[in-house]
Amino acid sequence: MSDITLQDLSDALANDEFVYYYQPKVSMLSGKICGAEALIRWLRADGTLVSPAAFIPFAETTGFIKEITLAMFQKLIVDLNIINDAKDSIVVSFNASAKDFHDNKLVDAIRYAIQHKQLDADLLEVELTETVFLNDGKHVRQNLELLEQMGVALAMDDYGTGFSSIDTLARWPFSTIKLDQGIISKLEDSMKEFTIAQSSIHMAHQLELGVVAEGIESEHMYKLLQNMGCMLAQGYWISRPVALAEFLDFCRTRTIWPVQPIGLLHLAQLDHIQWRKAIIDGVFYLGLRKDSNEIRGAPESDPQTCRLGRWFYGAGREYSGTKWYDEFEQQHIHLHDVGMKLLESAKQGASKSTQTSLMRELTEKSVIVIGMLQQLENRLIAEHS
Ligand code: C2E
Ligand code: MG
Ligand code: MG
């Protein structure tokens, strides 16, 4: 398709030859399909199917992509309603290019659809690659902020391939990152890629962003990512992108993919260690800055809303009703009491011996909490192996 012309694209659009294929995303927590990515295909009159790599870059350079995206968005609305009528609501994402945000047309079309109840903002996500941000300034930012205000989620596609992923993440309103296939495919053979994936998942967790691993081609890869605490999976091992009717059939099979909560349990342990570190840092800081009572990055005081608490009262509910659950809850609440007492004592400038004794108590409680999390981990490993 190297001799593709603008006229070809324009004819294809006029003849309604562009369609979306859908590739499911699976929640590694529930093992169920919880989303899908819409990927464009050019279905030519002679029955051949042209992949986006063959025409999207050309459409982007010529600017014709804007016409394509606008037309495809109208199709997406129809498809989304069919999908959500047939299945419990799932989030569907579509890919957009930098040029789609150079003017307001796409954002206006999305706003119109939401306001006229043609689609639910909560069920829509836009995938963008970093090139969008590297080359474009104010206008793109305004448009993406408008999307965020409308409640439409933004995912950073191909995370880990750009020059400034971290900087981009810090400055733009993303709610999800999609770990690039290039990293995923080398996980099994390269310690470097393994570490990049692992630390990206940790970072996303700290920033409270979702993580999708794309390009999962084997069960082993799926399980590896699950162990790292990744929550969403997409790839040929689950399903290739397929036409709408086939996607609906696929959803109907109600397959359940493996669920294994150990990755999240590891993240919960890390959360606890970070929380404890934030307390100790706070005590040192207050000791140094006698003139200030405020600490930056103050640890969460409420055991229900700290990160460990969110795991415990969220995914951790799975273990409620057990002796372990009730005991852990008590220990965790005590831990927070001690942590807050310690910070307060530092703020009040309490004596060294009072602070040291509270710090010792904090360590003791922390050891109990970590011990209990590891006890659960051992049980889960025994159950899942
Ligand atoms: P992407 O958004 O990163 O999409 C993921 C690509 O990886 C898709 O290729 C998908 O079919 C492929 N893929 C998924 N799972 C696996 C796997 O397990 N192994 C391997 N090897 N590949 C897997 P596809 O559909 O050919 O799309 C290629 C790219 O074209 C997309 O990358 C996206 O950047 C772009 N694209 C697709 N549809 C659209 C669109 O509607 N608009 C725009 N602007 N770009 C699009
Ligand atoms: Mg994508
Ligand atoms: Mg991608």
Question: Residue 227 — φ and ψ, nearest 5°?
Answer: -65, -25
Give the Cα separation of 225 and 262 in Å (integer). Answer: 11
Name the residue at shortest CA distance from atom 10 of ligand 1.
241
Read off the pLDDT band of 289 (50, 70, 90).
confident
The residue type found at 281 is: D
Residues 6+ apart with CB under 8 A from 286: 292, 293, 295, 343, 346, 347
Give the Cα separation of 21 and 43 in Å (integer). Answer: 11
Q: 56 in ligand 1 pocket by Cβ < 6 Å?
A: yes
pLDDT for the residue 288:
80
Whether 332 has a pLDDT exceeding 70, the answer reads: yes
Read off the pLDDT band of 373 (50, 70, 90).
very high
Buried b (16+ CB within 10 A) or exposed e, 251-286: beeeeebeebbbbbbbbbbebbebbbebbbebbeeb
Name the residue at shortest CA distance from atom 2 of ligand 1.
95
Read off the pLDDT band of 66 (50, 70, 90).
very high
**Mean pLDDT value of segment 353-368:** 96
Whether 110 has a pLDDT exceeding 90, the answer reads: yes
CA of 127 to the centre of ligand 2 (A): 5
**Mean pLDDT value of segment 214-238:** 95
For the chain, helix, strand, coil in percent to 5 are: 60, 15, 30
Q: Which atom of ligand 1 is nearest to the CA of 100?
A: 44
Q: 97 in ligand 1 pocket by Cβ < 6 Å?
A: yes
**Mean pLDDT value of segment 341-368:** 95
Q: 255 in ligand 1 pocket by Cβ < 6 Å?
A: no
pLDDT for the residue 164:
65
Q: Model pTM?
A: 0.91
**Mean pLDDT value of segment 252-270:** 90
Tell me the C-alpha to C-alpha distance, in Å, between residue 168 and each of 34, 102, 128, 198: 26, 18, 11, 19
Read off the pLDDT band of 123 (50, 70, 90).
very high
Read off the pLDDT band of 135 (50, 70, 90).
low
From 95, 124, 156, 238, the mutation candidate for ligand 1 (largest count of ligand atoms within 8 A of CB) is 95
**Mean pLDDT value of segment 97-106:** 91
